[in-house]
A and B are shown apart, each in its own frame.
Chain A
Amino acid sequence: MLTADEVLVRALVDQGIEHIFWHPGGANFPYHRALSDCEEIALVLVRHALGACHMADGYARATGRPGVVMLTSGSGATNSITGIANAYMDSVPIVVLCGRDSSGDSVSTQLDETDMIGVSRPVVKHSYVLPSAMDIPRIVREAVFVATSGRPGPVVIDLPRSAYESKEKYEYVMPETVSLRGYRPAESGHAGQIKKALDALLRSARPLIYAGGGVIHGDASSELLTFAECLNLPVATSLMGLGAVPGSNRLCLGMLGLHGSRIANNAIAHTDLALALGTRFDERAIDDPETFCPQARVIHVDIDPSSISKTITADLPIVGPVKEVLSILNQLACDRKEVQSKRNDRYMSWWEQVEGWRQKISEDTRENMTDSNSKHIHPQDVVQVLYEETKGEAFITTDVGQHQIFVAQGYKFSASRRWVTPGGLGTMGFGLPAALGVQFAAPQETVVCITGESSFLVNLQELSTCAQYDLPIKVFCFNNGTLGMVNQWNQIHGWKNGLLGYPESMPDFVQLVEAFGHRALRASTRDELKRAVSLAFSHECKSQTVFVDVRVDPNVRLLPREERGCSTSASSSASQ
């Protein structure tokens, strides 16, 4: 027999939860004792509720396991909304347990009170109120199942304080299965549709795989690579799909879209059959739905039916988990003689065209760059140096802005789940706490946070959490002294005085980070950058948080595809 708080903790342990990102307060005080007594769960004390959510988010992206957050009521709850919305937009499984002061039936106006279920409703996959301790095991189990299955997403559980203060004891009964009659995510795709998809691919002349975040969330990378290699198919990815196939693989064309590579955008503009896997055809990826891949039929595989034919009409829809669908495709392909026989010369002329773009592009790789003899550090230099140092194997978190896109364009991820970026919501302040979450999940791995000075200021309080838990993350702050992405659009639109006084008000980042007890360096030239990078990854700094204030060229612009002549639409033919 257990008290309610013990029931909650035992239920979390039974669901395999090993870390809880926790910001304390009166409303979650009652179960603090049981949690601190629990040896299976490490309680991570953070500095801000939002930081807790981003950490859980990073933790979940890196592992596929649910990130769990425990917060107090009132502002503790409302501060988490951005983090929950961020996880919702990017389909990340987090479970947020929010304390509540009142007894549960009504929303009163007590201290620290808010209707968390109501406030979070539009940005959660599902939410629960725990009316009685008897329901705890079932609800915890359901919450984890809902968060992690189907299209993953955040789940909120509201915990009324009164349920935990009683000394009453309960029998702990965890139900054997989850039974939700209103929630049955697809377990496999339609066999007939999958066969049609393979037939269509074999008939096509210029096929292209467009891989999205669903490939990452669905752990389908190895099935994807097997299939792409088997049919000799080029693969472009969305921002969220980076790492779906190794970036250095010859089949990988990089990211498509507004800031995508020329080769990927050219390929999507010319393909006659796009196999879209786990992607929602976001506006930044496709631009205008009317002109997107104009010559192509579209096969769309997604576990979420609401993503299919939302913006781009699917000619062949397949509702199901990408991993299972690809496994069946691989099986079917194995059984076909014609697939095996002419493996390497399939789609020859298409590949010649694609390689032609690749060739041309390598000639003007540094298309975004200012003078390469400039003494300023170009953001691409930093990404390149980091790539060489970490060999594409680091876990990289980012914030939002120019730095994010430069990493997406330049860092060739060797595997999935290593790219941790706030794609859908565009959340500045994500990178640092997310890096902490990743490092908790993967203590032996190299975790790098690439950020901009403006983004970094949004959640820098978590540097203190970093010190408390000795997390050896490496932070590279692209400091151009301005909100780069905003500023470049200001310039493009001719609003010259948009950020007046902003650069002058930036702090001394080295002093700032040192005040938190971390090692901080400044790099203003390429040589200093190289030295800083080797030091950051040296044995000497193996167990230290290192921050590098990289003074990048403030005049660098990040031109969108149209201005670089690589739209995803037919008009890009001109750039062939």
Chain B
Amino acid sequence: MKQLLAILFENEAGALARVLGLFAQRNVNIESLSVAPTEDTTMSRLTLLTVSDSQTIEQITKHLNRLVGVVKIVNLVHVEHVERELMLVKVCAEGEERQEIKRTCDIFRGQIVDVTTNTYTVQLVGPTAKLLGFLEAIGRAHILEVVRSGTCGITRGAKALSLGPKGA
């Protein structure tokens, strides 16, 4: 079962390693991870995508809450939320195919951010499924390199994830 954790934690050396250690100790793989400081630069926000049963994720969440450096956690799959991921893809684009690839890129509302005589680098933003859909449409044979940022998530509505007592 997909789990998407949004974690606020201290922006300091070693704090991320403690968070990730809890997943490694339980042999839970992390599918994607995106982390950067928030508007308050003493704090970082991490969005972590993993696949695990609800009991395991509950235990991990409780242990994450125990970490001194972790300030707040929300499992976004339990609330209305928006997910986005950024992807950069370098594709082979030669001859007549250049037009077709450009059209596909437009359909997916991608932007071409770098061009050479035989490649395009496409930037795409959206839910992960859309990004994967684009890769499928382009076809594996044309893909030279893929970079994905990992999923970012935020709750819908006016309520914001900010400092306050820790939630489970």
Residues in A lying within 8 Å of B, measured CB to CB: 117-118, 121-122, 125-127, 129, 146, 151, 180-184, 304-306, 310
Residue B3 interfacial (CB < 8 Å): no
Q: A129–B68 Cα gap in the complex (Å)?
A: 14
B13-21, B29-37, B129-137, B146-154 - the one binding chain A = B13-21
Who on chain A is nearest to B60 by CB?
A: A306
Q: How far is the CA of A265 from the CA of B63 in the complex (A)?
A: 30
Q: Please name all residues of chain A whose beta carbon is closer than 8 Å to the beta carbon of B67 when the two chains form the complex.
A: 126, 182
Cα–Cα, bound, A126→B15 (Å) = 10
Would you call A306 and B14 a contact (CB within 8 A)? no
* Closest-CB distance, A189 to chain B (whole angstroms): 15
Known: A122-B21, A306-B63, A310-B59. A180 touches B14 (CB 8 A): no
Nearest neighbor of A306 in chain B, beta-carbon distance: B62
Chain B contacts for A183, CB-based, 8 A: 68
Chain B residues near A180 (CB, 8 Å)?
A: 68
Contact A182 B21 (CB under 8 A): no
B168 contacts chain A at the CB level, 8 A cutoff: yes
Contacts of B70 in A (CB 8 A): 182
Distance, CA A81 to CA B13, complexed state (A)? 21
Q: Are B68 and A126 in contact (CB under 8 A)?
A: yes
What A residues does B21 contact at CB under 8 A? 121-122
Closest to A307 in B: B62
B165 within 8 A of A: yes
Cα distance A542–B45 when bound, in Å?
Answer: 60
Q: How far is the CA of A306 from the CA of B62 in the complex (A)?
A: 5
Give 1 or 0 for each of B20-59: 1 = CB within 8 Å of chain A CB: 0100010000000000000000000000000000000001
Cβ distance B42 to chain A, nearest Cβ, rounded Å: 9
B12 nearest in chain A by CB position: A129
In the assembled complex, which residues on chain A have CB atoms less than 8 Å from the CB atom of B59? 306, 310
B141 to chain A, nearest CB (A): 43
Whether B10 pairs with A182 at a CB distance below 8 angstroms is: yes
Task: Known pairs A121-B14, A126-B69, A129-B13; list 9 more (Cβ under 8 Å).
Answer: A121-B21, A129-B14, A151-B66, A180-B68, A182-B9, A182-B10, A182-B67, A182-B69, A182-B70
Question: Nearest B residue to A150 by beta-carbon distance?
Answer: B66
User: With an 8 A cutoff between CB atoms, is B2 at the interface?
Assistant: no
Expressed in whole angstroms, the minimum distance between the Cβ of A192 and any Cβ of chain B is 17
A184 x B166 contact (CB < 8 A): yes
- 23 A-B contacts (beta carbon < 8 Å): A117-B14, A121-B14, A121-B18, A121-B21, A122-B21, A122-B25, A126-B67, A180-B68, A181-B71, A181-B163, A182-B10, A182-B70, A182-B71, A182-B166, A183-B68, A184-B166, A304-B66, A305-B62, A305-B65, A305-B168, A306-B59, A306-B66, A310-B59
Rounded to whole Å, the gap between the CB of B23 and the closest CB of chain A is 12
* Minimum Cβ distance to chain A for residue B145 (Å): 31
Question: Chain B: which residue is nearest A158 at the CB level?
Answer: B14
Expressed in whole angstroms, the Cα–Cα distance for A129 and B13 within the complex equals 9
Given known contacts A181-B71, A310-B59, is B66 in contact with A118 (CB within 8 Å)?
A: no
In the assembled complex, which residues on chain A have CB atoms less than 8 Å from the CB atom of B18? 121
1/0 per residue, CB under 8 A from A, across B110-139: the answer is 000000000000000000000000000000
Q: Which residue of A lies closest to B62 (CB)?
A: A306
- 5 closest pairs, A vs B, by CB? A306-B62, A126-B68, A182-B71, A183-B68, A182-B70
